[in-house]
Structure 1
């Protein structure tokens, strides 16, 4: 059995380990969101969030693969609390937007830390994630605007999703994923 370094780990690698948990947490929250929409007979919204859940899972495992490739010990964490109860659809989209903004802040901290520690490979690895977060925040911001403009008529949102194919691009250029991307 190969032995991976456990100690000492830099702050950057500790933050990467934490980001694995953050990504899995985001995945689980997106699953809960997808199920809420699915249970509300809103298949396009459900599909969007099921896809988002898989993307976040893939992001967690891309970080896992990077840690393994750089000879660091990896622990797969449990996930945190997931919100399942919502009164209306706008709450789910607002939560998704806040989640994406939080993940963006996490990646900015990671890049800053890698730079401070002169970890140029780590900083380079994170560039794709920074670019991805611009897209994720923009997607959720647009979706929130569409949901608000629909003024409670979620079938209008479903029609917009069908027309625009929002969120259907996938993770083009994603770094290698442990076990392979789904």
Structure 2
């Protein structure tokens, strides 16, 4: 996954109970609200997953919202994001094992599907703990296993505010670790 350092602009709304006439406490309130807003956004199609706000570059003059008494501050800040890319090699943890494939998690991405058709020489074994087994290499993929895979495709899901991925084991040194 690619880490990006991006500059963003936005509006931070500070409720009246967090406002204080002392500049330092007001700046603290703005930073706390900015961090809450970024955490609530989770990700965007353009930037990827929001990881951390690194700097608060500027805070413009606030405007009072008459109905609520809150104050909106236009802000400029830098943020670290994480964006998945097609073709890259990642490591994921097996989250679910189904007859037709495996669901993996890797970092903030919780929806990665590895189809049985993209796992050469692996066979589904239905036991108390279902798994995919390769008799030639004596390897096994089951719940909790770490798997190195290649990203085959990526799709942005607006309703979930996250990415879905398709994975493959076609390539050298891919599979259970």
TM-score scaled by length of structure 1: 0.24
TM-score scaled by length of structure 2: 0.25
Higher helix share: 1
Q: Does 1 or 2 have the higher relative contact order (CA < 8 Å, sep 6+)?
A: 1
Higher strand share: 2
